[in-house]
Structure 1
């Protein structure tokens, strides 16, 4: 496997491939010494057993052995560098540079060097990613129309670390909000519930994903690989010992009925399928001209609407009084009243006293009407130019989420929160930040200012907020924002983006101890995104990751063919507690399957052809023609893949 990158995501992906999947890796980075420090330095705990080797230390043509790491130091992934890294013979290449342009150029070169390499590309631009994947897949088909290695996967997978991490940040920020994985029309929701009876998932749930820790508000367990158990007698004893040791230490991932029955009152994380809502147009309650007036009234604020309504009532009252006292026709009385209001009429010097009084009142109403009309014009102009301005937080706002930082991650999290209907106030110091256009388009209030300065968090109404999300690229800024927010509101729910895992654990424990009544969670983008990139390199379509405390469950689409743990077994027999579980079946014929899974369908639905079947019979036998949707731990997915002997591996 070849991994090319210039930040912590490349190091984390290499660690996943080495430590979890046991694959040899060539890592292309600008600074080899930094990669050695992160991957194999003292106390890192990641790859202490993996020997490091420079390309110069290896003989020409020498390939690293299983579990080995080879580092190539290069600033740019040009053709010479990719060739030196061995892309021409690698089964998979991951390009995870922060620059989209660099990833695109390297992908085009790699596809020319090796048309059969599996590409995993990190791109922030979604539209560009779709077009690029189609182009590279077509190039691979043209270059190798009849590969001599059957079953070889030369697909292109475009992922975004922001999209992978955003659901976890959004779900953690809101108490009671479901953890969501959304991809290609599939919406899976993980909710915390209490089972109604022992050994059974909660009502309406597909399955039980995890049993939470006995102390859900305490410091979370480490995100080490989930345990797997053998089926022999000695493995059963190890399983019982592991269960007793882990009973009070952390969550149980993918438990069986026996574990759920002995959960001791723990809450469970259950998986649900949420069908996409049906959009329909509601008929307008205001017909004709009234509907037009209602749409025009939406241009103005409620206070201005009331002012206009009051002036209109005053004008109507003056017109009615003029008609009743002067004996004029209604039209002429209204005309004279308008002339008096706009000061167009002659003074009523020789008119009756009633007429003179009405003229004075009309002039007074005209004086009140003038500023109202000016305000209406300015406000209507501002309504038409909403995209060019930023809203300020309303004074009565409460129960919202304060989002600090509108960079790559903050922009994706903002979109997720608005999809969930959560009110948000954004805090950004850069007036040219990436997420400001999205905030304008969604009419989200934004406070421009440095979060570390006095009064900025107060302007975001943090004292009335339900949660604070600190998602800037600086760990120090995020921590300072959280500490300042806790001084304003001690029980505020906070979520930090911290890239250093050891630092994140220390912050979790310290803040939880100092504020036992508040919830503190720290998340690392690379920590949440790397499993998806590594899984895609191994030939799995990773739809998303569901965080369970500080562990991660992957939702993946897997072809059954060639997997003895699945092929020829029933749904019940294929379930491996703590490792993987089949949750859905793709009903489309193998020849008609698309690279991406179709939308959500229910079994028995006449439109279910080509869809997913969720209500699975436990006794249904899986065949080699099936493709299943699975929930798996990282270690479980690695074990499932490692037992398959592919032609690429044999070569």
Structure 2
């Protein structure tokens, strides 16, 4: 396995492949930016940067080893603890033919291109596909549309170079992922429900709900299934969340029913399915503009118009009663007097003259009101494409700090769930500003560390705050200030360093025990999905369980001896994997990406009609899995490695014996 990149995601991904799947890994990194020292060998066996990177990968592996350890999954004796024998570092200033050949791309099974520059990843992918048509490519791209076209292009190139390649292999030949897309559902769910346990599958949102231990005599609702027993207990409600070295009892992933029934005083994580509703605009908006009709006129202007309309109606009634004219004619004459286009009532009765003067006075008052209404409508329509300010009286919203790559994806997720959001961004040209403008999301432009910026975002009335800027200190400072304004504020921070995140979490939990605090790392949430894609299976998402991770994958039963020909009840392996759903679509009609919502059948007609979901969640325990079936399952990282047949990973069965 080859991983090319030089950030936290690359290091975590290399450690994930090495420690979880036991693969031989080559890490390709650019050389250090130091022209004063002599160049090191490409293989990176000399001192300096290569040794430092090996140390960083080793540190990440040690953290991952502690995170993946749980009561039902002992360590794999087939995987050595030392990283130096299976992790090789190659330095290359450019990913050209020579660098990729030195990394061994012609003999590699998979290549992950996780540079932060999309152009570098695309160039390297095209070169690697030419050097090895059979190579499985996993590419990190932020642009979804470009990623879809790139997948088709590279798969077509692979099919042309190898005519005998079947369709199943082509589905896994190229996978384009985004770390922001992978982590966005978890981060959005953290702000909404205090949990990051959300995965999308076939148009449904799968939510993993944390539940407290049931009281005596109560029966807990199992939902679709029980995913984990938490380390939290009745005496320690917070458990080990935020720490992977706390010494507390580790969570038990994918327990069997007997283990769940025997566990007392421990919280659980239960899987639930929620309907996906999309982003349909609410009624009462101008077509194509997204402006609420109530925003066209202010309340004062509406009261002024209503007062003038009442005065004109009163004058029309008075004219009808005093002159004896037909009501419609009396109203018509009153309007003529109002607009000063009627003949003067010279020589007519006194009542008629007084009514005409009053109508003329009302007409004079009407002119500034009409002028103000026109100006207000023009101003509202002009600002429809601009950034909104947080409205007065807003409460219960989510304050989102940072509209970069991750913040933009999280904003889209929150609006899909119809959650009110107020964004804070320092750069008016940030990536997410156009999305906030298009979705009419209130946005405050300013530095969150400056006084008054968070107050402008109504932080004192907010439900939660998501600090997703690229600076750890900025996120921490904003979280501390938000807590000082509202002690019970729900806070989720994006922190780069795991040790720093653990220390921050523990301190905030101790200082505010009744407030919810979560520290998240995008690379920590995204690395399992990238690693699973390199192993050649469609990963729907990852759900963190405290500091461990559960993967959700769609796997074809064909060629899987642990699934094919077995009953659903027998295909369950405690602590390793659990079947959740069966894809009822025929193989010809299946979509390769179940994590996306069902597309319309209009073939570009734009009718917006979605296909109904085709996943069967209520599985018959006696159903025998056939080779043509495809299943959705939850698995630990070691359990998925065992299913893939890469390494035999022992685990504890339902009878307590090690299998």
TM-score, normalised to structure 1's length?
Answer: 0.82
What's the offset of the Cα at 1:312? 2.2
The answer to whether the 8 Å contact 1:545/1:552 transfers is: yes
What's the offset of the Cα at 1:421? 1.8
Q: What CA distance in whole angstroms lies between the structure 2 residues aligned with 1:567 and 1:322?
A: 90
Match of 1:217 in 2: 238
Q: What CA distance in whole angstroms lies between the structure 1 residues aligned with 2:89 and 2:502?
A: 29
Task: Choose the corresponding residue for 1:337, options 334, 337, 349.
Answer: 334
1:529-540 equivalent positions in 2, closer than 5 A:
529-540=526-537
Match of 2:174 in 1: 156
The answer to whether the 8 Å contact 1:140/1:154 transfers is: no
SS in 2 for 1:620: coil
Task: Choose the corresponding residue for 1:174, options 177, 192, 195.
Answer: 192
User: Residues 465 and 88 of structure 1: is their aligned pair in 2 closer, same or farther, counting only changes over 3 Å?
Assistant: same
Work out whether 1:454 is the aligned partner of 2:469.
Answer: no
Segments of structure 2 that go 5 or more residues without pairing to the other structure are 33-47, 66-81, 285-290, 599-609, 649-659
SS in 1 for 2:563: coil
Task: Choose the corresponding residue for 1:637, options 635, 640, 658.
Answer: 640
Give CA deviations for 1:529-554 in whole Å, capped at 9, x if unaligned: 01000110011110111222332211
The answer to whether the 8 Å contact 2:540/2:595 transfers is: no
Q: What CA distance in whole angstroms lies between the structure 1 residues aligned with 2:172 and 2:596?
A: 24
Match of 1:396 in 2: 393
The answer to whether the 8 Å contact 1:386/1:440 transfers is: no
Task: Choose the corresponding residue for 1:524, options 521, 526, 536.
Answer: 521
Q: What CA distance in whole angstroms lies between the structure 1 residues aligned with 2:522 and 2:157?
A: 32
Q: What CA distance in whole angstroms lies between the structure 2 residues aligned with 1:430 and 1:632?
A: 41
Task: Choose the corresponding residue for 2:59, options 40, 44, 52.
Answer: 44
Match of 2:271 in 1: 271
Match of 1:139 in 2: 157
Match of 1:308 in 2: 305
Give CA deviations for 1:102-149 in whole Å, capped at 9, x if unaligned: 222221221111111111111111111111111211111111011599
Task: Choose the corresponding residue for 1:70, options 76, 88, 91.
Answer: 88
Choose 607-616 or 503-512, whichever is displaced more: 607-616
Work out whether 1:192 is the aligned partner of 2:195.
Answer: no
Give CA deviations for 1:257-282 in whole Å, capped at 9, x if unaligned: 12211221433222223344599999
- RMSD between aligned alpha carbons? 3.7
Choose 569-578 or 5-14, whichever is displaced more: 569-578
Match of 1:430 in 2: 427
Work out whether 1:509 is the aligned partner of 2:506.
Answer: yes
SS in 1 for 2:632: strand
SS in 1 for 2:496: coil
Q: What CA distance in whole angstroms lies between the structure 2 residues aligned with 1:65 and 1:177?
A: 33
What's the offset of the Cα at 1:514? 1.1
What's the offset of the Cα at 1:85? 1.7
The answer to whether the 8 Å contact 1:219/1:508 transfers is: no
What's the offset of the Cα at 1:574? 2.2
Work out whether 1:165 is the aligned partner of 2:162.
Answer: no
SS in 2 for 1:88: coil
Segments of structure 1 that go 5 or more residues without pairing to the other structure are 51-63, 225-244, 286-293, 602-606, 646-651
Q: What CA distance in whole angstroms lies between the structure 2 residues aligned with 1:609 and 1:376?
A: 47
Choose 495-504 or 360-369, whichever is displaced more: 360-369
SS in 2 for 1:444: coil
Q: What CA distance in whole angstroms lies between the structure 2 residues aligned with 1:610 and 1:460?
A: 38
Give CA deviations for 1:165-216 in whole Å, capped at 9, x if unaligned: 1111111112367842115534322223468899999547221111232244
Q: What CA distance in whole angstroms lies between the structure 2 residues aligned with 1:420 and 1:573?
A: 37
Count of residue correspondences: 597
User: Residues 150 and 121 of structure 1: is their aligned pair in 2 closer, same or farther, counting only changes over 3 Å?
Assistant: closer
User: Residues 281 and 588 of structure 1: is their aligned pair in 2 closer, same or farther, counting only changes over 3 Å?
Assistant: same
1:290-301 equivalent positions in 2, closer than 5 A:
299-301=296-298
Match of 2:624 in 1: 621
What's the offset of the Cα at 1:422? 1.2
